[in-house]
Amino acid sequence: MVLAQILLNGILLGGLYGLMALGMALVWGVLNIVNLAHGALIMLGGYVVYYIFVFTGLDPFAAIAVAMVIMFGVGFLLQYGLLNLIVRSALLNTLLITFGLDVVITYLAQFLFTADFRTINPSYAGANFSAFGLTVPGIRFAAFVVAIALAAALWWLLNRRPLGLAIRATSQNLVAARLYGVDPRILYAVTFGIGTALAGAAGGLYGMIANLTPYIGASLTAKSFVIAIIGGLTNPFNVILGGIVVGIAESLATLYFGATYSDVVSFGLLVLVLVVRPTRTLRAA
Partner 1 sequence: MKNSIVALAAAAAFASSVGLARADNVITLGASVQLTGSSANTGRYYRDAYGLTIAKINEAGGIKVGGKTYKLALKILDNQSDVNLSVRQYVQLITSDKVNFLLGPFASNFALSDSSIAEKYQIPMVQGGGASTQIYTRHYKYIFGTLPAADDYYASTIEMFGKLQPKPETVALVAADDSFDVSVAKGTRERLKAAHMKIAVDATYREGNSDFSSILTQIKAANVDAILWSGHETEALNFIRQMKSLNVNPKDYYGFTVGVPTEDFRKALGKDANYAFGMTSWLPSATLKDRWFGDALGFAKAYKAKFGYDPDYHAASGAADVETFAVALEKAGSLNPKAVRDAIAKINFSSLYALHTKYGENGQIILPQIVVQIQDGKLVPIYSDQFLNKPQYPVPPWNKRG
Return residues touching partner 1 (CB under 8 A): 1-2, 5-6, 9-10, 13, 99, 103, 107, 110, 115-119, 121, 125-128, 135, 137-140, 209-211, 213, 215-216, 219, 250-251, 254-255, 258-263
User: How many whole angstroms from its chain centre is CA 243?
Assistant: 10
Smallest distance from partner 1 to CB 242, Å: 17
Smallest distance from partner 1 to CB 45, Å: 16
Q: Helix (H, G, I), strand (E, B), or coil: what is residue 25?
A: helix
Nearer to partner 1, 66 or 255 (CB): 255
Nearer to partner 1, 56 or 135 (CB): 135
Spatial separation of the C-alpha atoms in residues 151 and 244, rounded to whole Å: 13
Smallest distance from partner 1 to CB 114, Å: 8
Per 3-state DSSP, the chain is made up of helix, strand and coil in percentages (nearest 5) of 80, 5, 20
Q: Tell me 118's DSSP state.
A: B
Nearer to partner 1, 50 or 76 (CB): 50
Are residues 214 and 106 in contact, defined by beta-carbon separation less than 8 angstroms?
Answer: yes
Give the length of the chain.
285
Smallest distance from partner 1 to CB 142, Å: 11
Smallest distance from partner 1 to CB 10, Å: 8
What one-character-per-residue DSSP string does 210-245 give?
Answer: S-B-TT-HHHHHHHHHHHHHHH-SS-HHHHHHHHHH
Nearer to partner 1, 129 or 156 (CB): 129
Nearer to partner 1, 127 or 176 (CB): 127
Q: How many C-beta atoms surround the C-beta of residue 3 within 10 A?
A: 11
